[in-house]
Structure 1
């Protein structure tokens, strides 16, 4: 009789399972879904989903080519995955399956990659280490957001099956950090570098000098850093980078495949230098330290020869510290410099930059002079900027000057989102997330050939920004959209699709401890806790 009841219970359980209900009355546990391949930011160039997912397990290893750079990318990936998975994930040159990083010739360019995922493993293939690194960022997004946490999480760790083929639209995908208005330490800059790398940003533009502070040690003019690095907006303690500090930033950025572009702004925005050395002033009198936020009142003395000795020394020492190809000389808002003097100054200074092996970048006012051959102009005007100014920049572009697009009412990260945003400014308008994303760099500047556009860069000026949490609140979520404008094909550009992919980044930022602006324009998932 007892056997009969056991048989009936077994038959009942089988019937419940067949109808999708467990013997306890609960639905059976379903396999955790994997993140679709097309849920990535920036949108990949090509996505072909299909096949079984790959599951990272305690037996997974990371196989790399026998090269130092491939191994370094493999170790970087392992360092991301180990804390949250709790797995060993050895990096090795032997074995099959698992996660493989391989360098091989192919249609990848300098930064592209291919990701192939299936039941037996994930393979990332690229022609250059930068491509492998960018592929790793995509792989991170294909795993649950909890992979970013620094303690063991339950998983499972599934990578959807299929293939991604990806190359960037533009070679210049930048972010600028103003360390002059407010100073940020080496560790704070490194934190931002890691956040930029998540979205395949490849240029870090550091605004190292302005009226409020000089942030880089120059041996031949030591008071620049020791005296004029001593304060900031509002009169705080300021700070400066020693040469070793700066080189550490450069090294760390390079490990994340970002090139550092240093900027010394001139001939305007120079009160820090003028206050440090009286002889740089036309009247020989050093002005007072400045901790305000007004612009356009300072100028190097264009007629004095010592000005060019100063510029030569600064550029020589900074170029020697900077392995990248570019040096930014500013050139904006030089309202206290006559047009004639501005042209004279740029004609003298641009050859100095070239003489130390660097390519000139200037804000787009540089086009009011004669940009050097190969120079880049960084456009920061507005949609409503006058036609004459836009045409001057477009004419320079038609003449061979490359253009970096940083329209202030689109991708200045220090602009308020709404009138109620507690940080930021609004002189360029209010810049919500959709406005920041919904434009095309390829046809933004009338009369400029699309071929002249080198890419995009999101500046973050720091009049109101004084700590890392401020940087993150103003940068996220807009930075991700700028990255997509720079990386993804124009054909993928669609706000309605993007905002869904962007929303999926929210839990990842939370796992990383990034405090972001929860724009009502984006369908964020509910926050836990």
Structure 2
């Protein structure tokens, strides 16, 4: 726009000038806020330039900011839920316990459904069908907060959003002083994919029950709904099986690097499953077969028909050298026992049979082995799940769900063929989703056989177009974390955070709702939250941390 001098010297021209200047100032402030450089600073000290609903990860489907003072948690605040629904009551109790710990407020849980001055969790089957089992609506205003969903699972996902609407100090393990205000907002949300998983390798390095629970806590905050446990590998076997004492007496005694291993008793495993279920994560156990079986062969050498030296405990990180005998019926008696036991312990629908990196077996023998083991899984009432190498046996009565990780073009073509036979696919491409890949060449931990995976690499991809697959084939995504270089939770945190929330958003949020520039700001706001919770994380330079 151009304004002449005569116009500026007139009275009406001066009015125009004032209006133009005010518009420019307002635009400047808007630009500053969009860039995370608001001179007023974040509303609650969360940092990263993202405040209120604009710091939530994964980004919700729709968000409408309201006006006014919002709702502040006080000593009068109660959490109410649907009468007589024990699952909804448990969700409310879990929310209250976490917030009591940080706020010091009493936050009683009541059945006074819809009471004013509080947080109300309501089941509403009349919500639109597209809300699905995990969708929810959240509204916050001066008189309280309300979360509605068609199912208890949706209520739980809504409570995780509420946690992020509160100040970062809400994640503190001890009472702190803060303004516990939720700004006025309306949110409608549901996931893009039904399967959003994270895998933890407890075979290369063993992780205790409490460490696995801690990882579940991180997953729950970002709306993951599957925990894939890689329970067996060359370095160790991690689950007790009745009638097979050598699996834990010998096979579980080691881990990578030569340090002592460990295993889960039946009670341990049930506790992990219970804890995950309370946070609406389904456990997916994996017994890796027919390769990655050195720990089995040290325990039961009769299952080795290679003709080579007897298997010995293995502490390195090579792959592809071990093979359980595919032609001995004792092998199938063993796999049948293990699968039946694991299926009985696991309420979820999937049992992962591995199938990757088998380098010493011809394709025909490999496919026959996978076919027989997949049939055992189905006989135990579960859906066989396999790495992408099992694709030739996928579809129909074979492997039902495939996990794509490979960097090999032939594997990608096999996935397309399997999809044509009815198999569905979980996307976990190593160059995007493997959390054990180094961030860059200077990263101390991790490996780099699939390249380096920056936070941007982990975020900026579309699972539907990563492979040429028929529409609807992609069931979801997974974020695998292999632990060759990660002996404990501190090292896991350094590799998972901040990339884990990036992959959570890939799996939950609509493709059209995602953008890297906005995500960087919302991710930066998670840093103070992790600090308050005691989570370690890598302060990667591509994120504008506060």
User: What is the TM-score with the length of structure 2 in the denominator?
Assistant: 0.88
Q: Which runs of 5+ in 1 are unaligned?
A: 1-29
- For 2:43 and 2:365, how far apart are their aligned partners in 1? 70
Matches within 5 A, 1:40-439: 40-52=56-68, 53-66=70-83, 67-94=85-112, 95-105=115-125, 106-107=127-128, 108-282=131-305, 286-373=310-397, 375-382=400-407, 385-386=408-409, 388-439=410-461
Query: Structure 2 matches for 1:410-489, cutoff 5 A?
Result: 410-446=432-468, 448-489=469-510
Task: Provide the C-alpha distance between the structure 2 equivalents of 1:302 and 1:147, rounded to a whole number of angstroms.
Answer: 53
Q: How far apart are the structure 2 equivalents of 1:338 and 1:328?
A: 22
- Paired with 1:31 and 1:370, the residues of 2 have a C-alpha distance of 52
CA contact (8 A) 1:413 1:461 kept: yes
Distance 2:321 2:395 in 1: 24
Q: What do residues 281-332 of structure 1 show as CA deviations (whole Å, max 9, x unaligned)?
A: 1157741111110000011111111111011000011111001100000000
Count of aligned positions = 493
CA separation of 1:424/1:281 partners in 2, compared to 1, >3 Å: closer, same or farther?
same
| Cα distance change, pair 231–223 in 1 and its aligned pair in 2 (3 A) | same
- Structure 1 residues 31 and 399, CA gap change in structure 2 (3 angstroms): closer
Distance, in Å, in 1 between the alignment partners of 2:330 and 2:474 is 36
CA distance in 2, matches of 1:216, 1:338: 29
* Counterpart Cα distance in 2 of 1:32 and 1:350: 52
Tell me how far apart the structure 2 counterparts of residues 283 and 54 of structure 1 sit (CA, whole Å): 68
Q: Give, in whole Å, the separation in 2 of the partners of 1:380 and 1:102.
A: 40
Q: Secondary structure at the match of 1:451?
A: coil
- Give me the whole-angstrom Cα distance separating, in 2, the residues matched to 1:264 and 1:202: 20
Q: CA deviation at 1:33?
A: 8.5
What is the CA deviation profile of residues 115-170 of structure 1, one whole-angstrom value per residue up to 9, with x for unaligned ones?
Answer: 01110000000111111111111001001101111222222111111210000000
- Give the Cα–Cα distance (whole angstroms) in 1 for the partners of residues 173 and 291 of structure 2: 45
Give me the whole-angstrom Cα distance separating, in 1, the residues matched to 2:470 and 2:345: 34
> In terms of mean alpha carbon deviation, does 367-376 or 413-422 score higher?
367-376
1:495 to 512, 516, 520: 516
Report the secondary structure of 2:159's partner residue.
Answer: helix
Distance 2:53 2:298 in 1: 55
Change (3 A) 1:68 1:342: same
State the shift of 1:378 in Å: 0.1
Contiguous gaps of at least 5 residues in structure 2? 1-41
Partner Cα distance (2:394, 2:139) in 1: 48
Q: Aligned partners of 1:414 and 1:86: how far apart in 2?
A: 38
Contact 2:394/2:400 (8 A) holds in 1: no
CA root-mean-square deviation: 1.6
Where relative contact order (Cα < 8 A, 6+ residues apart) is larger, the structure is: 2
Tell me how far apart the structure 1 counterparts of residues 471 and 319 of structure 2 sit (CA, whole Å).
32
Aligned to 1:264, what secondary structure does the other structure show?
Answer: strand
CA contact (8 A) 1:211 1:269 kept: yes
Q: Is the 8 A contact 2:396 2:421 kept in 1?
A: no
Is the contact between residue 414 and residue 460 of structure 1 (CA under 8 Å) also seen in structure 2?
Answer: yes
In 2 relative to 1, CA 370–501 (structure 1 residues): closer, same or farther, beyond 3 Å?
A: closer
Distance change (3 Å), C-alpha of 1:31 and 1:167: closer
* Separation (CA, whole Å) in 1 of partners of 2:210 and 2:328: 39
CA distance in 2 between counterparts of 1:477 and 1:523 reads 12
**Distance of 1:131 and 1:506 partners within structure 2:** 26
Query: Which whole-Å deviations, capped at 9, do the CAs of 1:371-414 have from their partners, x for residues lacking one?
Result: 444700100023xx32x321111121122100000000111000
For residues 371 and 492 of structure 1, the distance between their equivalents in structure 2, rounded to whole angstroms, comes to 33
Which sits farther off after the overlay, 240-249 or 336-345?
336-345
Contact 1:63 1:96 in 2 (8 A): no
Distance in structure 2 (CA, Å) of the matches to 1:360 and 1:369:
11
